[in-house]
Amino acid sequence: MAELNISERQAGDITILDMDGKVTIGEGSVALRTTIRRLLGEGKKKILLNLGRVGYVDSSGIGELVSSFTAVNKEDGSLKLLNLTQKIQDLLAITKLLTVFDVYENEGEALSSFK
């Protein structure tokens, strides 16, 4: 079984990725990278990562979040985070990345934040 399941849904021109599992070195970060790169290839540049069911992110997973963020920004897109667990929020705070990402607790607010 894959460490990370990613299911995709559209809200207008925004792609929401509902992630379930762990974003860790190996499969989890590869799954995320592959999905983000594919979306960009399809011209989908507004991406919302729903991390509500992600139990664990390691340093490799954090690295992947950052490189996904960078890749999307390069294409003039935006990548935002939704439903961070306390653990992930703490991790992002410690690594000073909370200031880098747009983080939302409410999906409606997150969606309306995209221009």
pLDDT at site 2: 58
Residues of the chain with pLDDT under 70: 1-2
pLDDT at site 115: 85
Rounded to whole angstroms, the Cα distance separating 75 from 68 reads 11
13-22 residue pLDDT tens:
999 999 999 9
- Domains of the chain, first to last: 4-113 (3.30.750.24)
**Dihedral, 29, 33, 35, 38 alpha carbons, nearest 10:** -160
* Token representation of residue 108: 């409606």
40-62 residue pLDDT tens:
999 999 999 999 999 999 999 99
